[in-house]
Chain A
Amino acid sequence: GAVVSQHPSRVICKSGTSVKIECRSLDFQATTMFWYRQFPKQSLMLMATSNEGSKATYEQGVEKDKFLINHASLTLSTLTVTSAHPEDSSFYICSAPLRSNEKLFFGSGTQLSVL
């Protein structure tokens, strides 16, 4: 079946640094990918929609200058958390749909801890 690979699985960084998270569709092309954020004991919240070859679409309340999204190819989308602060500590998850049946496949997630 379709697989979405996400790296790294865990990252710890100092406040003020930037962190890049990669999301790859391994055996299918994804013109669209979705980035979610999940705080402890809460549900997933959609942050942004990544579109190959064009600008990402951000959900209300998500700062586009802080969460930079690049979707340069049909198999890779990256999320960069710029100047990370402790309040950005969260579980970040990417997903991509198989166009043929619209099921969403999810990456394994990235646990970001900002000290």
Chain B
Amino acid sequence: DAKTTQPPSMDCAEGRAANLPCNHSTISGNEYVYWYRQIHSQGPQYIIHGLKNNETNEMASLIITEDRKSSTLILPHATLRDTAVYYCIVRAPNSNSGYALNFGKGTSLLVTP
């Protein structure tokens, strides 16, 4: 699976948009970009995933650059409950690791009042 690079930490004011970047310059054509988050002392929570088109759901938007070498997760109106570690993961379906995800260090997002 392709390696990802994320900033270790970010701050965001409550009510503002949180834009979390992820670099995946070695991504292959069949690899998806997944985003999960982990609130302290809980299991990770799925947020969104995409291949090459931008995606949006009730939680967030995912913007993938045209060359697919980077992406941005957007939380449009961050709340205090969005404080968590956000993981960007790149993997191909049915890879050798099956469905397992390999977690990097992620970005620790702090939403402040």
Interface residues on A, range: 20 to 34
Question: What total of chain B residues lie within 8 Å of the partner, measured CB to CB?
Answer: 21
With A102-B93, A103-B46 as known contacts, state yes or no: A46 contacts B41, CB within 8 Å.
no
With A97-B99, A102-B99, A104-B99 as known contacts, state yes or no: A91 contacts B104, CB within 8 Å.
no
B28-52 interface code vs A (CB 8 A; 1 in, 0 out): 0000000010100111111001000
A34-B44 Cα distance, complex, nearest whole Å: 13
A34-B91 Cα distance, complex, nearest whole Å: 16
Residues of A within 8 A of B87 (CB): 43
- The answer to whether A111 has its CB under 8 Å from any CB of chain B is yes
In chain B, positions 72-113 with a C-beta closer than 8 Å to chain A are: 87, 93, 97-106
Residues of A within 8 A of B93 (CB): 102
In chain A, positions 58-115 with a C-beta closer than 8 Å to chain B are: 91, 93, 95, 97, 102-109, 111
Q: Is the interface of A mostly helix, strand, loop or mixed?
A: strand
Q: Are A46 and B43 in contact (CB under 8 A)?
A: no
Given contacts A44-B38, A46-B101, 7 further A-B contacts (CB under 8 A): A36-B103, A43-B87, A43-B104, A43-B105, A49-B100, A97-B98, A104-B100
- The answer to whether A25 has its CB under 8 Å from any CB of chain B is no
Residues of A within 8 A of B106 (CB): 43
Residues of B within 8 A of A4 (CB): 43
Q: Are B101 and A104 in contact (CB under 8 A)?
A: yes
A4-B43 Cα distance, complex, nearest whole Å: 10
Q: Which residue of B lies closest to A36 (CB)?
A: B103
